[in-house]
Amino acid sequence: MQTSDAVLLAIVEGLTEFLPVSSTGHMIITSSALGIACDSFTKLFTVAVQLGAILSVIVFYWRKFIKLTDYRFYLKLGLAVVPALIFGKLLDDFIDDKLGNPVFIACTLLGGGIVLLFVDKLFNKPVVEKEEQISFLKALFIGCWQVLAVLLPGLSRSAATIIGGMQQRLTRNLAAEFSFFLAVPTMLAATGYKLFRYYKETGGFTGEEIKLLAIGNVVAFVVALFAIKVFIDMVKKYGFKIWGYYRIILGIAVLVIHFFIPIAVCA
């Protein structure tokens, strides 16, 4: 991976992390086009760089996220992240295998897009308007929806948790916000685990790898700060159907490209 590759992937991550279109899927498609998708460091990078984008949540929502006197808020996040941590650890090898398969990603983009076409109509009677109204049980159920994104790379973590929130009768805006908050402990844990595993398997990081990870996270953080507001505004105005059409078009495009110009699938 070159520095230019890291910057491009980080920009893609920052632009797509908060959209229900799968930032991981977009980075895999991009890395496949760059010819680096099967590299072990690239697989690590596509996970670790998400932390930079996610940390923009703390800056953007610092008044809501930093609640030192409201321990229940953090307990809800802790409870919600448990299902993803369990399944992520149990299915780590399966997930790594799919992270190098753009065709699998295309199929999950397509399937998830079809679901998004109907989300606004299916869950159109919200009653939970404030974070304080989210019960521990609702938080756990939303966390269980996040497992779908763990099992199916390309589905989109944000899409799964936002749909889970709306299914639990949260308003569209609150479901999106809770999804963003939940991403912080999720990606902290995922990144920490991936870094530790890579260190254990390779014996350490080279200076170049540390530089690429640092650059990638900084770029993703800055880009995501702008993207998060755009997404919130678009959700308020258009809902999720527009993202469903986008996913379907992109999924079909990747499959067509693979049919005519075979895309390398990692062994």
Residue-range domain boundaries for the chain: 3-260
Number of neighbours of residue 174 by Cβ within 10 angstroms: 21
Q: In this predicted structure, which of 112-116, 121-125, 215-219 has the lowest mean pLDDT?
A: 121-125
Q: How confident is the model at residue 255 (pLDDT cuts 50, 70, 90)?
A: confident
Question: CA-CA-CA-CA torsion for 135, 140, 156, 85, nearest 10 degrees?
Answer: 140
- What does the angle CA 27 – CA 32 – CA 38 come to, to the nearest 5 degrees? 100
Average pLDDT, the chain: 85
Helix ranges (H only) for 152-206 are: 157-167, 172-202
Measured CA to CA, the distance from residue 82 to residue 147 in angstroms comes to 10
Q: In this predicted structure, which of 51-55, 85-89, 139-143 has the lowest mean pLDDT?
A: 85-89
Measured CA to CA, the distance from residue 244 to residue 115 in angstroms comes to 7
The string of pLDDT tens digits covering residues 213-225 is: 999 999 999 999 8
Measured CA to CA, the distance from residue 75 to residue 207 in angstroms comes to 37
pLDDT at 47 over 70: yes
